[in-house]
Amino acid sequence: MRANERLSLGRYLRGPRVFGFTGVYRPFSLDSGVLETDGSPGRSAEELVLAWEADQDMSGFLAEASGSAGAQLRQEASKYIGASLQAGECNFPQWGWMAQQFARTLTPGGAGRRERAVLSRLINSDRHEARHVIASLLSAEPPPREMPEHKIAGRLLPKSHGRVRDLLTAAIAYERCTALLTNTFRRLLRHGVVQAQGVIRNSPTEQLSFADRASQDLHGLVDEAVTRVGAIDQRLGAEVETALAAFRGGRRTPDFVQELLNRHSAVQAEKGRRMWVEEVRDGFVVRPLYRDQRVPDDDTTWIHPMRLRTITDFLRATG
């Protein structure tokens, strides 16, 4: 924006795939029938577009009715989308009628009454049993704004049953385990920063009581996570077991620290990125970019998005 350049593949900010369109909206759009797997409009798309048309005074968009504002917007959009794809960057005019109409009718938070009603029905549809039950529970007793996911899960668990209860139990067990692992790794980095020359010596003499406690606690947490996740999906349970098996058994602190580093190395290699630490003789040193580690006071806060906050926000926005 500062350089006044157009959006292109080279300038697009690549975030984690669990966020944004790929991580949240596309799976929901596929499940609710707004999209087909190939990206074409699904069974629910027409109802949603017609509701948008009515709310935004864009009648004729779907039918391409001659002379209508909706048809004009669709034709102009098609022309510039084609030109953008050919040019490899956004080719839309920054000013003028079409830019004004896009800004007015497609503002993310600007859905009208009819569009919100359609979205609400799709969110609450019983075609997806777990989402339907969770949405019903959240609608009956909405959690306070900004309530973290682990607390939302704690409120839902006593009221749920069957598969929904199994899903929530699995999420809680998995997050208790992975949050402790992640926070222990961050505590390790923070510990390294305050050592002489920033080096952690991975030896029995190193004072890492927090790592020793975590190693002991993880023995039961890993078993619980594998069991609970495997109960809802054997394949996922096997994946969890593969990822966490090294942290079973209450290892000695030096071995546990080394397994943390091994896991971190594997994750970074999968991403094609360097480790946050540089290995040195008998230990490692934290790279400057990762020396300011903020770790929560406890290990209850979830570190993976389980979508409970997302669906809560969806319900609030469409209600």
What is the pLDDT averaged over residues 158-167?
95
pTM assigned to the model: 0.81
Say what the pLDDT of residue 203 is: 64
Strand, helix or coil for residue 298: coil
Angle, helices 308-318 vs 129-140, to 10°: value is 60
Confidence label for 76 from pLDDT (cuts 50, 70 and 90) = very high
Judge contact between 318 and 123, C-beta under 8 A. Answer: yes
* Amino acid occupying residue 242: T
Q: Tokens at residue 286, please?
A: 């934290």
**Looking at the predicted structure, is the pLDDT value of residue 7 above 60?**
yes
Q: Tokens at residue 306, please?
A: 């389980």
What is the pLDDT averaged over residues 149-168?
95
Share of the chain above pLDDT 90, in %: 61
Say what the pLDDT of residue 204 is: 59
The sheet carrying 283-286 orders its strands as 199-201, 283-286, 277-280
Share of the chain above pLDDT 70, in %: 94
| String of DSSP letters for 122-188 | HHH-TTSHHHHHHHHHHHHSPPPTT--HHHHHHHHGGG--HHHHHHHHHHHHHHHHHHHHHHHHHHH
Residue in this structure with the two tokens 């004072």, named with its chain if needed? 207
What is the pLDDT averaged over residues 80-102?
90
Confidence label for 206 from pLDDT (cuts 50, 70 and 90) = low
What is the pLDDT averaged over residues 104-124?
92
**Looking at the predicted structure, is the pLDDT value of residue 83 above 70?**
yes
| String of DSSP letters for 215-255 | HHHHHHHHHHHHHHHHHH-HHHHHHHHHHHGGG-S---HHH
H or E element that contains 286 = strand 283-286
In 3D, which of 220, 185, 188 has the Cα closest to residue 207?
188
Say what the pLDDT of residue 114 is: 96
Strand, helix or coil for residue 121: helix
